């Protein structure tokens, strides 16, 4: 499973990429908490950040 973060086109590309990465990580953490602290053993969660792309 992939969780992907995006941002708008305002500001520098590096800052947008960092923001989108933080958003994706926050969603992954919230999903983990919602499932009691971990995903099933056969589920891998990856995150990706695309900034304004």
Each residue's pLDDT tens digit, 14-42: 999 999 999 999 999 999 999 899 888 89
User: pLDDT value at position 19?
Assistant: 94
pTM of the model: 0.84
Q: Which residues pair with 49 in a beta bridge?
A: 5
Write the burial class of residue 44 (CB in 10 Å: 0-12 exposed, 13-18 middle, 19+ buried): exposed
Helix (H, G, I), strand (E, B) or coil at 2: strand
Per-domain residue ranges for the chain?
2-49
Q: How confident is the model at residue 53 (pLDDT cuts 50, 70, 90)?
A: low
* Under 8 Å between Cβ of 52 and 6: yes
């Amino acid at each position: 499973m992939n969780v992907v973060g995006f941002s708008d086109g305002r500001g520098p590309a590096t800052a947008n990429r960092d923001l989108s990465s933080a958003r994706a990580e926050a969603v992954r953490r919230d999903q983990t908490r919602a499932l009691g602290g971990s995903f099933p053993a056969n589920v891998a969660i990856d995150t990706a950040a695309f900034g304004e792309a």
